[in-house]
């Protein structure tokens, strides 16, 4: 039974791809298809980052080690969707026209912070293998704490690009705050 | 894009069919293979072709019904638009309260005008309407009147978006009096030859084609002539981002969106962005209103 668990979660993680494929082939992307694709993968990136961040608290709450097995996969999916998100923006929306793109990255703070978050995800994706964990030893954990900064950048990216914080950006912000607060508390527990 | 195009429109059904055919072709071929058409030289082949009725009526911003662009269509279905009165008051000799039927008696004509949203997308809409000046001529405006303020109805029972402090309700918009009297400033009563759908601002809205879409207030109950510049909703929410004038201007970037280009609603995935034109293409008609003004400061 447990052997099937990981592949099942993997297939489930491809959900955003199923949705968008369906919408592309059945002409359901709506009046602004490019915008729809960019936003779709942007939102799913944030969801996967939050899911990744939820594994450690879930392990502590349920006292089950099972959760942590999925952390790497979820994190890599976050990077995967972040890359599609960025690529669709660069390729579909701006057609690899780098002049306005560079202008955007430098002038628009939400793009700057979003792009930074994606850059920071790269070293984490590269060092995600078991081999790298062994090579980096203690530094691995330090390096992978970058995910806290990435998650904050990601949510700020969403807040800043929205005309108002209501409602989706606010929901992501609240969940992120809860996930980060849970960590502070746990460390206190460990000390006592 | 010139003013009032009374040109023939493709019958809606045929038009939509053709559009969806082109769309599905586009999707079939595309998604991975990006077109290599350079952005800067890109020109829309069919700028004067109206956006489909479907897109106009299911994809728009009307925060009174929610912040999603599909919300107005879903949530405005049972919005009450009768009885309805429009007050014209403020700096006028005698204020006036007009039943909506009387306003709708003013002869409407088809005006195919382009809408450019501050978010960076545009539509071409065959509105039905008449110049606001025709309505304002029903009252005697005092010489002290410098601005015109539009107020949207406050009805949180039916407008669920108004239950949340997204903006200061009711929605206020405004124009300088000469802008308001310009023949292109249109009181909208319908679109595609039909009564104005609830989600597009029934029973009565304003449309100013050379300004970003949010300047065009919907479901108006009050038109007030004022001495001072109205405290408009979006300027109030974020003065750095939204100015009082909010003329379409590719030279002035919104802090979050570049205004140099725009995406045409209803185009396929392969369609490139098009260049945004000064005053949304209505410069010949309206540029004189701003002669001598620094439009970078007065954004």
DSSP string covering B85-126, please?
Answer: EEEEEESBSS-EEEEHHHHHTSPPEEEEEEEE-TTSEEEEEE
State the DSSP string of B12-28: HHHHHHHHHHHHHHHHH
Would you call B265 and A31 a contact, using CB atoms and an 8 Å cutoff?
yes
The domain limits of chain A are 34-184
Would you call B59 and A32 a contact, using CB atoms and an 8 Å cutoff?
yes
**Residues of B with Cβ-Cβ distance to A160 under 8 angstroms:** 256
Among A113-117, B42-46, B98-102, the least confident range: B42-46
Number of A/B CB contacts below 8 angstroms equals 76
B43: pLDDT strictly greater than 50: no
Nearest-by-Cβ selection for B20 from A27, A34, A161: A27
3-state SS, residue B173: strand
- Model pLDDT, residue A103: 87
- CA–CA–CA angle B107, B6, B105 (5° rounding): 10
- Model pLDDT, residue A165: 86
Nearest-by-Cβ selection for B34 from A30, A92, A100: A92
Whether B64 and B154 have beta carbons less than 8 Å apart is answered as no
Tell me the two tokens of residue B214: 């949010």
- How much is the mean pLDDT over chain A? 91
**What is the end-to-end Cα distance of chain B in Å, rounded?**
22
Whether B133 and B181 have beta carbons less than 8 Å apart is answered as yes
ipTM: 0.80
Nearest residue to B126 (alpha-carbon basis) of B18, B4, B208, B274: B4
C-alpha of B130 from chain center: 14
Would you call B167 and A33 a contact, using CB atoms and an 8 Å cutoff?
no
Nearest-by-Cβ selection for B23 from A27, A108, A166: A27
Question: Is pTM, for the whole model, over 0.90?
Answer: no
User: How far, in Å, are A10, A59, A91 from residue A4 at the CA level?
Assistant: 10, 20, 37
- Model pLDDT, residue B270: 85
The domain limits of chain B are 12-290
A183: pLDDT strictly greater than 90: no
Between positions 17 and 36 of A, the ones with CB within 8 A of B are 24-25, 27, 29-35
Q: Where are the alpha helices (DSSP H) in chain B?
A: 12-29, 53-58, 71-75, 100-104, 132-136, 177-181, 233-237, 283-286
B53 touches chain A (CB under 8 A): no
Q: What is the pLDDT of residues A25-65, one digit of tens each?
A: 998 899 999 999 999 999 999 999 999 999 999 998 898 88
- Model pLDDT, residue A64: 86
- Model pLDDT, residue A35: 92
**How many whole angstroms separate alpha carbon A102 and alpha carbon B2?**
34
Cα of B159 to nearest chain A Cα, Å: 16
In chain B, which residue's Cα lies nearest the Cα of A33? B269
B88 touches chain A (CB under 8 A): no
**What is the end-to-end Cα distance of chain A in Å, rounded?**
38
Would you call A95 and B37 a contact, using CB atoms and an 8 Å cutoff?
yes
Q: What is the pLDDT of residues B253-292, one digit of tens each?
A: 888 888 999 999 998 888 889 999 999 999 999 999 999 9
B88: pLDDT strictly greater than 50: yes
- Model pLDDT, residue A191: 53
Nearest-by-Cβ selection for A100 from B31, B237, B258: B258
Q: How confident is the model at residue B26 (pLDDT cuts 50, 70, 90)?
A: very low
Give the pLDDT mean for B150-157: 97
**How many whole angstroms separate alpha carbon B146 and alpha carbon A67?**
66
Cα of B260 to nearest chain A Cα, Å: 9
Q: Provide the pairing of β-strand B147-152 with B220-226.
A: antiparallel
Per residue, the 3-state secondary structure of A99-145, as one string, reads HHHHHHHHHCHHHHHHHHHHHHHHHHHHCCCHHHHHHHCHHHHHHHC
B41: pLDDT strictly greater than 90: no
Cα of B208 to nearest chain A Cα, Å: 21
Superfamily name with CATH number, domain B12-290: Oxidoreductase, molybdopterin-binding domain (3.90.420.10)
């Amino acid at each position: 039974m447990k052997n099937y668990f990981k592949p099942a979660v993997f297939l489930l993680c491809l959900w955003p791809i199923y949705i968008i494929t369906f919408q592309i082939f059945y002409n359901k992307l709506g009046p602004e298809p490019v915008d729809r694709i960019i936003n779709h993968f942007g939102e799913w990136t944030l969801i996967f980052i939050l899911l990744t961040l939820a594994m450690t608290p879930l392990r502590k709450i349920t006292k089950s080690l099972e959760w942590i097995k999925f952390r790497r996969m979820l994190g890599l999916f976050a990077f995967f969707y972040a890359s599609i998100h960025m690529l669709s923006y660069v390729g579909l929306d701006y057609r690899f026209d780098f002049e306005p793109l560079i202008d955007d990255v430098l002038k628009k703070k939400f793009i700057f912070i979003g792009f930074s978050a994606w850059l920071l995800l790269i070293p984490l994706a590269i060092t995600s293998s078991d081999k790298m964990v062994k090579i980096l030893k203690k530094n691995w954990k330090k390096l992978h704490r970058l995910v806290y900064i990435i998650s904050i950048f990601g949510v700020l990216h969403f807040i800043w690009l929205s005309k108002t914080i209501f409602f989706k950006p606010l929901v992501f912000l609240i969940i992120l705050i809860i996930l980060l607060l849970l960590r502070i508390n746990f460390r206190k527990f460990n000390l006592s | 894009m010139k003013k009032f195009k009374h040109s023939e429109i493709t019958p809606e059904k045929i038009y939509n069919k053709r559009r969806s055919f082109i769309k599905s072709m586009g999707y079939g071929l595309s998604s991975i293979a990006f077109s290599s058409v350079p952005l800067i030289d890109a020109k829309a082949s069919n700028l004067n072709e109206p956006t489909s009725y479907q897109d106009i009526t299911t994809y728009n911003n009307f925060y009174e019904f929610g912040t999603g662009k599909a919300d107005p269509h879903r949530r405005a279905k049972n919005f009450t638009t009768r009885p309805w009165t429009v007050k014209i008051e403020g700096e006028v000799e005698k204020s006036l309260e007009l039943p909506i039927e009387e306003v709708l008696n003013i002869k409407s004509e088809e005006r195919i005008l382009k809408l450019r949203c501050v978010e960076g997308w545009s539509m071409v809409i065959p509105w039905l309407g008449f110049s606001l000046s025709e309505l304002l001529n029903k009252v005697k405006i005092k010489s002290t009147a410098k601005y015109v303020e539009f107020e949207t109805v406050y009805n949180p029972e039916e407008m669920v978006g108004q239950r949340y402090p997204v903006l200061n309700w009711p929605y206020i918009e405004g124009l300088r009096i000469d802008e308001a009297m310009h023949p292109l400033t249109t009181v909208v009563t319908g679109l595609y030859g039909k009564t104005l759908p609830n989600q597009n601002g029934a029973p009565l809205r304003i449309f100013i084609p050379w300004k970003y879409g949010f300047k065009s207030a919907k479901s108006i109950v009050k038109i007030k002539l004022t001495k001072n510049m109205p405290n408009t909703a979006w300027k109030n929410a974020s003065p750095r981002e939204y100015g009082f004038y909010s003329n379409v201007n590719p030279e002035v970037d919104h802090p979050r969106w570049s205004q140099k280009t725009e995406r045409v609603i209803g185009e396929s995935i392969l369609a490139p962005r098009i260049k945004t034109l000064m005053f949304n293409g209505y410069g010949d008609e309206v540029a004189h209103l701003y002669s001598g003004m620094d439009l970078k400061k007065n954004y």
